[in-house]
Amino acid sequence: MPKHILPLIPRELLVEQVILDAERIVINCRSRPPAPRCPSCRRASSRMHSRYRRRIADLPWQRRPVILCVHVRRLRCINRRCAQRIFAERAESFASGHARRTKRLRDIQRSVGLSAAKRALVSSSGSACRSAPTRCAGSSMPRVR
């Protein structure tokens, strides 16, 4: 695996395998925390219940999409009084609850979308000033009557 790809992987993940092919890069990994905490009672637990794979899209690298295949552990809460019997490891630092893309990919996509919408609005504001149902406020934004 190329050494310069490692700084791009979130620190909370331990890389097990990197699969490079012509269309995409798949990074098989797992989380680093040794004993996750129950979200309800906050007690650490290491009692394994099961595992599942979570596929999270990340920033592209060399024009290829990157998929993080995170192996998530489901654990049993050791507190008998806790209402939450089973819980999964959290990846909140780099991806939200049930998100299918990392926070950094989401933020970049959002900023690109907003700038494209702004450009489209600015370019259409000149033609909107000439249309009948709108009236321009100053020089930028059209107002609807």
Mean pLDDT of the chain, nearest integer:
80
Q: Is the pLDDT of residue 5 over 80?
A: no
Task: Choose among 54, 58, 59, 89: nearest CA to 70.
Answer: 54
- Phi/psi at 109 (nearest 5 deg)? -65, -40
pLDDT per residue over 21-37, tens digit each?
889 999 999 887 677 88
Domain ranges across the chain: 3-144
